[in-house]
Structure 1
């Protein structure tokens, strides 16, 4: 889904360690057609950008023989 305006508020650093990652921020940004607004501490955003989610979809196993 796309929206003309999206906003994302990231939690304080103590609460952000488990729940945020690069994919979450990317999703928020790419849902905006015109305007994206981010409210976050710089350290929290850096934490999110450096944390990636490893996926366990099983796709690799299905494609290899």
Structure 2
């Protein structure tokens, strides 16, 4: 990886300072929930590293990385995974060509994850097509209710 080539991370180590982690499940005992984002920090060796998670109220939580529930490294994430999260700044990367899953609802969700600045990367045509495409829900609920 680019980070390893520049010696910013040690690719042979699972844990390293600055590694952002995204929790993928709920652990009520640890107070960690799906979508929580933390960062690994501490000393230079694995034995002195900790995962810090911001708390909405109270102090940040400090945990040993080994006790974390299922998680991923989170340098970037999909709009779907970002739902329910909020970030100071975001970069929304659109695909190179138009796809039916690119809808106004998806773009809206992506753009509303920030409290600060947005960098939007993509072509005007892909963005325009996405904004013009509304999600079509085919649940059958309406038809079932009116029978």
Task: Provide the TM-score with structure 2 as the length reference.
Answer: 0.37
Matched, 1:36 2:115: no
Checking the alignment, whether the CA contact within 8 Å between 1:6 and 1:35 is kept in structure 2 is yes
* Count of residues in Structure 1 that have an aligned counterpart in Structure 2: 62
CA-to-aligned-CA distance 1:15-35 (integer Å, 9 cap, x gap): x22221101110111111101
- Mean Cα displacement is larger for which, 48-57 or 29-38? 48-57
Please report how far the alpha carbon of residue 54 of structure 1 lies from its aligned counterpart in structure 2 after TM superposition: 2.0
Please report how far the alpha carbon of residue 6 of structure 1 lies from its aligned counterpart in structure 2 after TM superposition: 1.1
Checking the alignment, whether the CA contact within 8 Å between 1:21 and 1:48 is kept in structure 2 is yes
For structure 2, the residue ranges without an aligned partner over 5 or more in a row are: 1-84
**Whole-angstrom CA distance in 1 between matches of 2:86 and 2:133:** 25
4+ residue runs over 3 A deviation = 56-61
Larger radius of gyration: 2
**Whole-angstrom CA distance in 2 between matches of 1:4 and 1:17:** 28
> Could you tell me which residue of structure 1 aligns to residue 89 of structure 2?
5
For structure 1, the residue ranges without an aligned partner over 5 or more in a row are: none
Would the alpha carbon gap of residues 59 and 3 (structure 1) be closer, same or farther in structure 2, given more than 3 Å must change? farther
> Could you tell me which residue of structure 1 aligns to residue 27 of structure 2?
none
Higher-RCO chain (CA-CA 8 Å, sequence separation at least 6) = 1
> Could you tell me which residue of structure 2 aligns to residue 46 of structure 1?
128
